[in-house]
Amino acid sequence: MPGRLKDKIAIVTGASSGLGRAISLAFGAEGACVVCSDIREESKGESQDEDAQLYTHDLVVQRGGKAFFQKCDTGSSDEVERLVECAVKEYGRVDIMVNNAGITAEGALGREAGDQPIWNVAEDTWDRTMRVNAKGVFLGCKWASRQMVKQEPGPSGDRGWIINIAVRTPGTPTATRTMESGKPH
């Protein structure tokens, strides 16, 4: 049943690649106006599909949806506040906040580093990862909910929905598993 998100205003963080890109495209196809947000506009380019070179927001629009890109580092409170403001300026409200942006130790340092046992992990790696994976989710919840509580409820009776993308990585405590498991569930 397409159109389930008709005219809903959605922000997706980490929208340029991976799950964030897929979520943005799916939301756009369901009728949402999507604010595609990331630290980089271009995809990380791991996808092999023919549209891989297109920016996520351009692809949403090409497929008949509404979207625009807003640069935002989710670890920066000022930038997340501005992201919400931009969504409101363009579309009037925020119905859905998807806190998707996340990084892994191997993303930051290379796969070998991600497979390192915890006793070899530098504190700086932990700090950089937590800045995005934990603080970024907090900031997304903080600024989106601050906007949502001011809004009139939508047709569903809700003022807004917040979706936090978490990760479960059981196993031996490698750098990646330990820091990803620190993401809010």
- Residues near ligand NAD (CB under 6 A) are 13-14, 16-20, 38-40, 44, 72-75, 100-103, 107, 132, 136, 165, 167, 180, 183
Q: Which is nearer to ligand NAD, 107 or 154 (CB)?
A: 107
CA angle, 159 then 152 then 65, to 5°: 70
Least Å from the CB of residue 66 to ligand NAD: 21
Least Å from the CB of residue 96 to ligand NAD: 16
Q: Which is nearer to ligand NAD, 33 or 137 (CB)?
A: 137
Contacts of 93 (CB under 8 A, 6+ apart): 9, 87, 147, 151, 160
Nearest to 99 by CA among 72, 66, 124: 72
User: Does residue 38 come out as left (phi exceeding 0), alpha (psi in the -120 to 50 range) or beta?
Assistant: beta
Least Å from the CB of residue 153 to ligand NAD: 29
What is the C-alpha separation between 185 and 179, in angstroms, rounded? 13
Least Å from the CB of residue 50 to ligand NAD: 18
Least Å from the CB of residue 110 to ligand NAD: 14
DSSP character for 120? G
Q: Which is nearer to ligand NAD, 3 or 45 (CB)?
A: 45
DSSP character for 96? E
Q: Which is nearer to ligand NAD, 65 or 136 (CB)?
A: 136
Q: Which is nearer to ligand NAD, 67 or 132 (CB)?
A: 132
